[in-house]
Amino acid sequence: MSLALVHSRARIGINAPAVRIEVMLSGGLPHTTLVGLPAAAVRESCDRVRAALLCAQFEYPNQRILINLAPADLPKEGGRFDLAIALGILGASGQIDPLLLNRYEFLGELALTGELRGVDGVLPAALAAAEDGRCLIVAAANGAEAGLAQDTDVRVGRTLLEVCASLQAHDLPRAVPDETIAAQVPDLSDVRGQPLARRALEVAAAGGHHLLLLGSPGCGKTLLASRLPGILPDATEAEALQTAVITSCSGNGIDTARWRQRPFRAPHHTASAVSLVGGGSYPRPGEISLAHNGVLFLDELPEWSRHTLEVLREPLESGHVNVARAARTDAFPARFQLVAAMNPCPCGWAGDRSGRCCCTPESIRRYRARISGPLLDRIDLHVQVPRLEPAELRSDAPLGEDSRSVRARVVATRDIQLRRAGKPNALLVPTELDKHCRLAEDDQYLLEAAVEQLQLSARSMHRILRVARTVADLAGCDNIETTHLAEAIGYRQVDRGIRS
């Protein structure tokens, strides 16, 4: 009887828990048994490993083989354990030195020819392996992704035979990330007119506030929303790495050349609640997590299923989402900036100066009622985007301010907030509002009167204070003045129209 131990990593949510692959050879009729809560793809690895070993001119033991994936109560899925299982069999059968395996962790799916194929969730595995002081060996297809984990020892191999030959010399090439490509984002100068909407976009970017754009078809709502990433501050390395970890676990691949860019996600309004918040038998992150540290754009907001929209309420407040299943609960980060767009009525022309709207008051009320009050409460800025005059769209019409100029003000304003509270104004908690958003007596009466007249909730009042703090920061003022508060209240005027 002989035994070998190999280290690998599973994927649970966005985490990479350690898995020990124990391979034991014993006498008896030749048979391979795999235990340890494996999914179907893991059980099939026995056939892939056998073919890969024979193709690489190794001997497949003609003995009873027991493979245990520990811990036994941790679900295992995919082909990520193929390489580790193959090396465990080779170590237990004496074809390689099993002691050489202790310093490594292995991730990779095996082709029948012995070639290594990439798997998902490699980046969190590389970070976790570094914490445990071991070198991680992955397929060449995962090299650029694993290379994002700086100051870690990650090596890449192309075939099973190459990995086995290099265990003693430790001479596999290191994982190297792709060269970062500069962000190519649409410029704000493309937007003609719309001074109020442009101002709201700048306030939203400066304070990290959520934004709702309401206007007739073709007035520029989507155009404005797509320009928000271009005026946001650059993501820090920690933020970019956290977003990259989520993308790595999504199963959709990761663009390693653009990993430093803030994400901009724009799912279609037919998307389900699971695709939005995450889920599945083996839960994966949804759109709100893929937009972590970036922007989530929801166009045609009333056309979304109300049930789907309501699942946004908790993540908008907490910045994370818990996906519960019978066996376990996985937590995914979801600190995104929401930008939503909608028409004012079913035909889209209510309130337009042309008077072409043919919708009845009841149909408009039903249309707007598709968006619940609690969800509207969580959106800081509500802005009406009017239709432009044809003359404003002429090619020789003056261009608006470009993204670079606006971004400079946004970055300066965000720096003020980080020095004061260590976070954007949108994330200030009530105790911090009392400290940083104090109002003069007359301004306090103005706020209370606005809350009473617009019938706003306490949450909406707090959001007005946060926006007013951002407006004051943009103006370079230490205290919130009446003009700053009045502008912040003006961004809630749509509240009354939506709920009427």
pLDDT reported for residue 121: 93
| CA–CA distance, 304 with 300 (Å, rounded to integer) | 7
**350, pLDDT greater than 90:** no
| Look-up of token digits 């985490």 | 15
Q: Does the N-terminal peptide bond of residue 361 adopt cis geometry, omega within 30 degrees of 0?
A: no
Query: Which residues make up the CATH 3.30.230.10 domain(s) of the chain?
Result: 2-166
| Region 291-311 average pLDDT | 95
- Strands 337-342 and 211-215, by their bridges, are parallel
- Using 50, 70 and 90 to split pLDDT, how confident is the model at 231? very high
Rg of the chain taking only CA atoms, in angstroms: 28
Q: pLDDT exceeding 70 applies to what percent of the chain?
A: 98
> Could you say which architecture CATH assigns to the domain 2-166?
2-Layer Sandwich (3.30)
| Mean pLDDT comparison of 167-181, 315-329, 351-365, 475-489, highest-scoring range | 475-489
| Region 309-331 average pLDDT | 88
Q: What would the two tokens of residue 416 be?
A: 């003020």
This prediction has a pTM of 0.91
| Region 320-337 average pLDDT | 87
Query: Mean pLDDT across the chain, nearest whole number?
Result: 92
**19, pLDDT greater than 60:** yes
Q: 164 and 137 in contact (C-beta within 8 Å)?
A: no
| Region 197-211 average pLDDT | 96
Query: Which residues make up the CATH 3.40.50.300 domain(s) of the chain?
Result: 188-406
pLDDT reported for residue 500: 39
| CA–CA distance, 390 with 397 (Å, rounded to integer) | 10
User: In 3D, which of 61, 471, 170 has the Cα closest to residue 157?
Assistant: 170
Q: Containing H/E element for 324? A: strand 320-324
pLDDT reported for residue 495: 54
pLDDT reported for residue 498: 47
| Region 95-118 average pLDDT | 95
Question: Nearest 5°: CA angle at 468, between 238 and 233?
Answer: 25
Q: pLDDT exceeding 90 applies to what percent of the chain?
A: 76
Q: Indicate the CATH number of 188-406 among 3.40.50.2300, 3.40.50.300, 3.30.70.120, 3.40.50.970.
A: 3.40.50.300
Summarised one tens digit per residue, pLDDT across range 141-184 is 999 999 998 889 999 999 999 999 999 888 899 999 888 887 78
In terms of phi and psi (left: phi > 0; alpha: psi -120 to 50; beta: otherwise), the region of 320 is: beta
Structure letter (DSSP) for residue 388? P
**497, pLDDT greater than 70:** no
